Amino acid sequence: MNRDYPLEKVRNFGIIAHIDAGKTTTSERVLYYTGSQHKIGEVHEGETTTDWMEQERERGITITSAAITCFWTKTGEKDKKDTSKKFRFNIIDTPGHIDFTAEVKRSMRVLDGAIVVFDGVAGVEPQSETNWRYADEAAVPRVCFINKLDRTGASFEHSYASILDRLSPKAIRMQIPLGEEDKHEGAIDLLTMKAYTYAGNMGDEVIEGEIPAHLLEDAKKYRAELIERIVEQDDAAMGAYLEGKEPSLEELNKILRKAVINNDIFPVYCGSALKNKGVQLVLDAVVDYLPSPLDLKPVTGTNPKTGEPVERHASDDEPFCALAFKLQTDPFVGALTFFRVYSGTLTAGSYVYNSTTGTKERISRIVRLQADKREEVEKVFTGEIAAAVGLKDTKTSHTLCDEDAPIMLEEIKFPEPVVSLRIEPKTKADQEKMGMALRKLSDEDPTFRIKTDEETNETIISGMGELHLEILVDRMKREFNVVADVGKPQVAYRETILGSAEAEGKYIKQTGGKGQYGHVKIRMKKMEPVDPEAKVAKNVTREDHFEFINNIKGGAIPQEFITPVEKGMREAMTRGVLAGFPMVDISIDLYDGSYHDVDSSEIAYKIAASMAFQEAAQKAKAVILEPIMRVEVVVPEKFMGDITGSISGKRGQIEGMEDRGMNKAVHAKVPLSEMFGYTTTLRSMTEGRGNMTMEFDHYDVVPSNVAADIIASRK
């Protein structure tokens, strides 16, 4: 079986946006116009293809990213029977709600480009900023689409200004709208200087026409801006332009494509997906400006055996290399492992090497995905996104490759969960099923964590927010038939120190015969933020929140006991000295100790290290940290006084306000512990007209009176 389309005609891209910007509606139009489906499903009717989970359809939001494959021929070239004009799109529709942010983060890692959708009334919203940041981290080229220009209060210029101001000054108008609000008819393309309107049953027909006289001057002015920005990217074109020669349309497109792929320009388009206006021209932009796998730098990783850097080029002839970026439990086929192929090919029935775990696994079947439907394929090629059935040891972020040419790609880093719940099965029969369901759900979602409270033996689940945990508990009930009782949401507090201290731990136990002896002296201080690129000294081990420095001289503690000392410190960090919360940002300097020829043992040094840690932490001004959330509340102006008062009453700090269409948006930082149930309060305060979004911002020290209450409640 050979590749049925050339690699330069492949586009892997995601559709990302803040919740309610119209992302799934845009995806549905994409599926319809590309001929993948013959009916458009609407979010408000609960019939969309990409929102296929019951919970998504009930709530009208996207929860899990859905992969779809379709084919597109550029507008104006469709009447030709030439199939060589077809481009293959592998698309991932991602969630917009902050609680499911891991889906966006992992999708950005495996995609080559993105369409970023904005609400034409609200412009840039909080989750737009987070998604943009993820795309920046992954250096993903982007095309912007200002949607919903048919809504009352819509303003292309306001939304465009918010992109320049809050996301990137590199954005540039490619189009301006033909009318706004109820007069929105289409768009003016500034490169071709043509007006485009839409006719037919679902806006299928794109009609090219002349620019209306009243918009001609604006179009000329904005076109001059656009041409200047494009020619700035190329010295020869710039020189010719300054001499009064404008490059041809073909040259401009070529320069613009290169600039978009290098993230030097972000083109901005406009329309209304719900009213079937503008989507086809955005798909043309995907073809013209977003990269194929061949346009990107080779993927880099390390050889797991030698630690040397290795790279793979996008080619079917290179050794196989893929990244598993998502797991999903499917009721019909079992575990599905989504992967992106960076090089080589993979055939069903063959074996792959998991370089992360060092094990081999057999690929029994490969499926290509159409949201919740699947098509079985014999072979996948470079640049494809597919799913393997039945992999047992492969988890999110693992690298799959050819055993003879091993490579390990960089893992995807996910944010830490901030909300916890106690959960217990309703009946004895649910006990075993619950353990299995939780394990499968945590395999699927790296931001969902499970642990057992050692003192009470209760199961604690942690996630990114109330909605995140509510959905997971609901999925346990529906997909795994597990009925469970849940406690109140709890905040994921942390503990740290503000000062420094010295301490020693001595563990001596005589039991008639061989005893136990461990003795350590340590210095503890707060771990300073360090440059991840900085070289780490040989005697230092460093993780995100822990640093261990081995300064033992002259064999005061034998080398074989240093690792147990470090382990003892790590274990002690899991239970803080104030209220038993995990400790973070601790630096330990092990500078002295002693040993006994006969009685010293690993366990003795672990216990001694733990004792020293506890003593030092108590001396070093231990404090409790709480998650602070970045909150945005959008309300009609008449409720502003009530809202600012309620935020201040929740220990919140208001950081700014702005007009948002007909409403006001309040930006604030508020402790998470004060925000549980706030959505309900907000609705009752604003006659149901207020909206709120929040996302984790940082950890901060809890005020002493609040800390006293937390400690008392944990005793």
By the 8 A CB rule, do 436 and 502 touch?
A: no
pLDDT tens, 181-216?
A: 888 888 999 998 999 988 877 777 888 889 888 889
- pLDDT above 80 (res 352): yes
Write out the DSSP string of 196-260. Answer: EEEESTTS-EEEEEPPPHHHHHHHHHHHHHHHHHHHTT-HHHHHHHHTT-PPPHHHHHHHHHHHH
Rounded to two decimals, the pTM is 0.72
The per-residue pLDDT for 523 is 92
pLDDT tens, 493-541?
A: 899 999 999 999 989 887 766 788 899 999 999 988 777 666 777 788 8
The per-residue pLDDT for 45 is 46
- pLDDT above 50 (res 62): no
When pLDDT is averaged across residues 469-474 and rounded to a whole number, the result is 81
When pLDDT is averaged across residues 387-393 and rounded to a whole number, the result is 83
Confidence of residue 25 (pLDDT cuts 50, 70, 90): confident
Amino acid at 280: Q
The per-residue pLDDT for 332 is 67
The per-residue pLDDT for 52 is 39
- pLDDT above 60 (res 1): no
When pLDDT is averaged across residues 230-245 and rounded to a whole number, the result is 88
pLDDT tens, 252-296?
A: 999 999 999 999 999 999 988 888 888 889 888 999 999 988 888
Q: ∠ CA(687), CA(692), CA(698), 5° rounding?
A: 150
Tell me the pLDDT of the chain averaged across its residues.
83
When pLDDT is averaged across residues 410-428 and rounded to a whole number, the result is 79
- pLDDT above 60 (res 411): yes
- pLDDT above 70 (res 298): yes
Q: In what order do the strands lie in the sheet with 299-302?
A: 309-312, 299-302, 408-409
The per-residue pLDDT for 242 is 87
The per-residue pLDDT for 616 is 93
pLDDT tens, 546-577?
A: 889 888 888 888 888 888 999 999 999 988 89
The per-residue pLDDT for 608 is 93
- Alpha helix (H) ranges present in 67-210? 101-110, 126-137, 156-166
Task: List all residues 6 or more positions away from 440 whose beta carbon is below 8 Å from its beta carbon.
Answer: 329, 335, 480
DSSP run (H or E) holding 612: helix 602-619
The per-residue pLDDT for 520 is 92
The per-residue pLDDT for 612 is 93
Lowest mean pLDDT, pick from 53-67, 250-264, 393-407: 53-67
Top-confidence residue, 39 or 417: 417
pLDDT tens, 78-133?
A: 654 556 678 888 887 776 555 566 677 777 788 889 989 998 888 888 778 878 88
- Provide the token pair at 276: 């079937």
By the 8 A CB rule, do 142 and 134 touch?
A: no
